[in-house]
Structure 1
Amino acid sequence: MKFDLHTHHFRCGHADGNIRDYIEAGIAAGLQVIGISDHTPYFGEKEDRAFPQIAMGKSELANYVQEVLELKQEYEGKIDVLLGIESDYFPEHVEEYRLVLSGYPFDYIIGSVHSVGGVSIFNKNRWKKLSDKQQIEVKEQYYRQIQESARSGMFQILGHIDAMKGNYPAFSEISAERILDETLQIIAENGVAIEINTSGKTKLSGGWYPSDAILERACHFGVNVTFGSDAHKPARVGDELALVAQRLKEIGFTEWVYFKNKQMQHVPL
């Protein structure tokens, strides 16, 4: 079975195409399951759409859900369309996000850390003039936030868990094995899956999130894995799915998972 659980569309302000375009691309790619998972609004901000180039407005969320549910019915028998969403994880706004998202029938929610210490994880300027010790502190803060997201009970999937390397490839070389292993154990204990996200190829780091080295450790700790292209263009739906499946088998995984009605579905590799 082929699936892709991480796709975006025009509502977030930085993706091309509408939801139907991504579904049709999924069919063309031979998928049996496609998840639509655009970015949540910024619920912690007063404005309806605080960051127009990053996420949809609060007033669009209900329309988004309705459109996906209507397309799910329309495409029944052709492809299984799942209602997902990618939620930011802001420790200070957890309960607000939990309350709003609990009001919708999501098949799954992807929890992603996009900001640490009030600065985007993709901002390469954050690393300027930091000592080795300070770099380790930032990396540990990032993974502690991921740990919190895993423990929150809000998410079925954690998104791109080493994406901080995206625009700063040297991130992978910052020594923090202890916090990484601790994080993977917490993820496993809480029954949350991590995605192999092929959008890293569009950043300075290249490659996938997370790295093979992290996937090897994840396999050791019994972490469940899933797949997401993180497509912001329909042409990227299912991108490198077969290559990811092969690499996972080489590492030692025998299955991966997706979620429907928030229930884990196991799929042999």
Structure 2
Amino acid sequence: MERVTTHTHTCFTNHGEGTVEELVAAAEAAGVSTIAVTEHYPLSSAFDTNAYLSMDASRVDEYLDAVEQARRRHPKVEVLTGTELDWLGDDEDRTLSASDFAPFDVVLGSVHFVDRWPFDDPAQRDRWDTAGADAIWRRYFEVWCEAVASDAPFAVMAHPDLAKKFNIYPTFDLEPLYEQAAAACAASGRMIEVNTSGAHYACAEMFPAPAFLRAFCREGVPCTVGTDAHVPANVARGIDDAYRLMYEAGYRKVTVPTSGGDRREIAIV
């Protein structure tokens, strides 16, 4: 079956490697039929002090041009222009408008910040010990549900349970929060992704967890697959495993964003 990844990154952020051209060429070589290049949308210096987490605002046009050039060079691959947008809630300090996102075929919605704290940043992991996993997990899901219910231009909610990245879990059962989040996502009409990168973090499990993915499936939330590759060599990493995880959770189709904001489906076989 087709192999797709709708979540990838490049050297346009300082924590990624490889050009857009190298990424798309690697995708074609790996038999990927659709790739969304989804560089991190610019953050202000208040959130990205060292210009490490996101793309510099001055490079957005350069980025868009690089994606278009790669699309022309690789006509056999469907190359989508995308971006990953952080949800900041009441702490939002950017002035964002619909026109800012008009160039993008797909906008991923991400929760990397809880009350201004980048909870998945290894350099700030100590706060997990001081704040406690129970409080952090509850607050994470509050923020996630705020994001999915917002009027932000998110098409796909990325790595839905990113809070497990460091393999730190709460003392309580997460199932009620999974159900709440899945219902909120279904009501919003947004998609989620199986993000294969989680298998390579301390949690050693793709995002979302199998039980969480089953909750999304029960609610009828469409699901796609993203590798979250930050180097070209990882562009197709784990796609086939993600399809198996989806099938085990009850999905029979992978939903894929297309240019212009539409969607198509691929049968899981």
Q: Same fold (TM over 0.5)?
A: yes
Contact map agreement 2:85 2:108 (CA 8 A) in 1: yes
In the superposition, relative to structure 1, how do residues 97 and 159 fare at CA in structure 2: closer, same or farther (>3 Å)?
Answer: farther
| C-alpha distance in structure 1 between counterparts of 2:22 and 2:248, whole Å | 33
Q: Displacement, 1:199?
A: 0.9
Looking at structure 2, the residues matched to 140 and 101 of structure 1 have their Cα atoms a distance apart, in angstroms, of: 34
Corresponding residue of 1:108: 106
Shift of 1:8: 0.5
Q: What root-mean-square deviation, in Å, do the aligned CA atoms of Structure 1 and Structure 2 show?
A: 2.1
SS in 2 for 1:32: strand
Distance in 2, matches of 1:97 and 1:203, equals 33
User: Residues 255 and 95 of structure 1: is their aligned pair in 2 closer, same or farther, counting only changes over 3 Å?
Assistant: farther
Question: In the alignment, is the contact (CA less than 8 A) between 1:161 and 1:209 conserved in 2?
Answer: yes
Which residue is equivalent to 2:125? 124
Alignment match, 1:232: 230
Answer with 154-163 or 65-74: which moved more. 65-74
Task: Give, as a single letter, the amino acid of the residue that structure 1 aligns with 2:134.
Answer: I
| Aligned partners of 1:165 and 1:172 also within 8 Å | no
- Secondary structure at the residue paired with 2:12? helix
- The residue aligned with 2:23 is 22
Q: Say how many residue pairs are matched.
A: 262
Alignment correspondent of 1:6 = 7
Partner of 1:41: 42
Deviates more, 1:172-181 or 1:155-164: 172-181
Q: Which runs of 5+ in 2 are unaligned?
A: none
Match in the other structure for 1:246: 244
Structure 2 distance, partners of 1:264, 1:237, is 21
C-alpha distance in structure 2 between counterparts of 1:171 and 1:197, whole Å: 19
Map 1:10-89 onto structure 2 (within 5 A). 10-42=11-43, 44-45=44-45, 50-76=49-75, 78-89=76-87
Q: What's the offset of the Cα at 1:174?
A: 4.1
8 Å contact from structure 2 (residues 25, 74) kept in 1: no
Q: 1:190 aligns with which of 188, 191, 202?
A: 188
Residue 83 of structure 1: SS of its match in structure 2?
strand
Counterpart-to-counterpart distance in 2, 1:207 and 1:40 = 26
How far off is 1:242 after superposition?
Answer: 1.1
Q: 2:82 is paired with a residue of what secondary structure?
A: strand
Query: Which deviations, in whole Å up to 9, do the C-alpha atoms of 1:158-195 show, x marking residues without a partner?
Result: 1111111112x132654343232111101011111111
Q: Is 1:201 the counterpart of 2:202 in the alignment?
A: no
C-alpha distance in 2, partners of 1:27/1:175? Answer: 42
- Paired residues of 2:36 and 2:79 also in contact (CA < 8 A): yes
Contact 2:175 2:212 in 1 (8 A): no
CA-CA distance at 1:84 after TM superposition: 0.6
Compute the displacement of 1:15 (Å): 1.1
Cα 1:217–1:102 shift into 2, 3 Å: same
Q: In structure 1, how many angstroms separate the alpha carbons of the residues matched to 2:218 and 2:170? A: 19
Contact 1:65 1:104 in 2 (8 A): no
* 1:34 to partner: Cα distance: 0.8
**Structure 1 residue 101: deviation in Å?**
5.9
What secondary structure, in the 3-state scheme, does the structure 1 residue paired with 2:169 have?
Answer: helix
Query: Shift of the alpha carbon at 1:121?
Result: 1.8
Is the 2:39–2:84 contact (alpha carbons within 8 Å) kept by the matching residues of 1? yes
Q: Distance in 2 between matches of 1:102 and 1:118?
A: 23
Cα distance change, pair 101–196 in 1 and its aligned pair in 2 (3 A) = farther
| 1:11 alignment partner, SS class | coil
SS in 2 for 1:143: helix
Rounded Cα–Cα distance in structure 1 between residues aligned with 2:172 and 2:45? 33
Alpha-carbon distance, 1:262 to partner: 1.4
Query: 2:156 maps to what in 1?
Result: 157
Checking the alignment, whether the CA contact within 8 Å between 2:41 and 2:54 is kept in structure 1 is yes
